[in-house]
Copies of this chain bind each other. A is one copy, B any other.
């Protein structure tokens, strides 16, 4: 069995190094040097103050809240597990991480969520305009690593890296869009396969991106990138299912650590795997009531709890756990065949298990 404390410690230990790399490209101060490096020499004159207040400040505030940084760790571990040159490519870990940070800033704005990592969502502190702009800035800024380090690679490699990024970013918007469409209550019936596809894009894209970039920048072949990407995608799917489970199960101290308000997904009307399973299994009365609560986007805690009780009644939490476990197990069998034995591989397995068994 997995030792949760050990892997949590491991993630914690990687953090300063990861944050140091992020700071290299996104410092705490919008210095003239950083502006020239990042945006090129100005044609006229930069407003350093504006850059500080509207890009750096919200970005740093958000990053300082924490986050598990597991996507960059995935990038690092895969690089090691396939025998890549870690020193040469480690700066690129900021791509999946900053892109992820951007996507949750945007996601919170889209859903008008309340809390993220235990604090008010970014748009609630800095305003919609600043938050969207900062979130979208994160979609492009980390690719500066590809621009600045291109001479260390063949153009083919840099091309594949851009392509990997762009394709995942195209796909993530179908995933997110599908999720949005559903929680507006517009779809009559959602198939489990459609839900899993939505997760594969909404959440899987970013871990697939982290994994594929590790392979591509390690200059391994496309086939390996595809296979490793598929495994990472599965991890992302299982992570999302676990995230949905935590949303309706965590209470008390653990909830505070989780950093989102209780039953937030119920409020948003999200069609999670558990909801889909319940709608499949429930009697007419329960089904009707669950849909009613989901579609009214309720702030009422009692109603949220009522919905969760219906979900529990049909064993849907257990069902979702089972699906997540199966997806991970099947994918890990693939990884077993693909990756030679190594310490990095062991850590990777711990990490994978942690992500679906985590309680925060």
Interface secondary structure of A, over-half rule:
helix
CB <8 Å contact, B54 and A181:
yes
Which B residue's beta carbon lies closest to that of A150? B159
Question: Does A197 interact with chain B (Cβ within 8 Å)?
Answer: yes
Which B residue's beta carbon lies closest to that of A132? B110
CB <8 Å contact, A55 and B177:
yes
CB <8 Å contact, B194 and A46:
yes
Selected from B38, B46, B154, the residue in CB contact (under 8 A) with A197 is B46
- A residues 118-174 near B (Cβ < 8 Å) are 127-130, 132-134, 136-137, 139-141, 143-144, 146-147, 150, 154-156, 158-159, 162-163, 166-167, 169-171, 173-174
Interface centre among A136, A156, A184 (most CB of B within 10 A): A136
Question: Does A74 interact with chain B (Cβ within 8 Å)?
Answer: no
Which B residue's beta carbon lies closest to that of A53? B181
Selected from B150, B180, B190, the residue in CB contact (under 8 A) with A133 is B180
8 more CB-based (< 8 A) A-B contacts, given A51-B174, A139-B139: A43-B230, A49-B181, A50-B181, A129-B180, A130-B181, A132-B132, A146-B166, A158-B159
Q: List 28 A-B contacts (CB under 8 A).
A: A38-B170, A42-B197, A44-B200, A45-B193, A46-B174, A46-B194, A47-B178, A47-B181, A47-B190, A47-B194, A49-B181, A50-B174, A50-B187, A51-B174, A51-B177, A51-B178, A54-B177, A54-B178, A54-B180, A109-B128, A111-B129, A112-B128, A130-B177, A136-B136, A137-B173, A140-B173, A146-B163, A158-B159
Closest 8 CB pairs of A and B: A110-B129, A45-B193, A54-B177, A44-B197, A155-B155, A137-B173, A162-B162, A50-B178
Which A residues form the contact surface with B (CB < 8 A)? 38-40, 42-47, 49-51, 53-55, 106, 109-112, 127-130, 132-134, 136-137, 139-141, 143-144, 146-147, 150, 154-156, 158-159, 162-163, 166-167, 169-171, 173-174, 176-178, 180-182, 184, 186-187, 190-191, 193-194, 196-198, 200-201, 230, 233
